[in-house]
Amino acid sequence: MWLDKENTNPHFSFVEYLCCYFNGLSLEDGYRRAVSGGLLTSGEAKAVAAFHGIFDAYRPPNGDYDHEAILADPKWNDVVLKAQQAQAALLDIIDDTDERLSLTEP
């Protein structure tokens, strides 16, 4: 939704999605809590660690609401690349059909 130029609701902005990922999923300290709670394996956490780190460090060039600047930012392209690599790594280790579908559907 944050890519929809017609949508001006700040709830559907880049920064809100970023907050949903880190805060909504309780990932502020990485995946330690999720692994210890049995929500994912240490292998799954390792598969997404590089993505998590680069996404956590990413700062948009013109603030959180300039979506065009974010999409044009080479550093954002690095985040996307790490996300794609994490997705591929997860697909290599996850056998569950529903989880694999969640990783691959648009």
pTM: 0.85
- Using one digit for the tens of pLDDT, what is the confidence trace for 25-62? 888 888 898 999 998 899 999 999 999 999 999 999 99
Contact between 51 and 82 (Cβ < 8 Å):
yes
Q: Is the dihedral of CA 75, 59, 62, 85 positive or negative?
A: positive
Q: How confident is the model at residue 6, as a pLDDT?
A: 74
For residues 90 and 40, what is the distance between their CA atoms, to the nearest angstrom? 11
- Using one digit for the tens of pLDDT, what is the confidence trace for 51-103? 999 999 999 999 888 888 999 999 999 999 999 999 999 999 999 999 999 99
Q: How confident is the model at residue 52, as a pLDDT?
A: 93
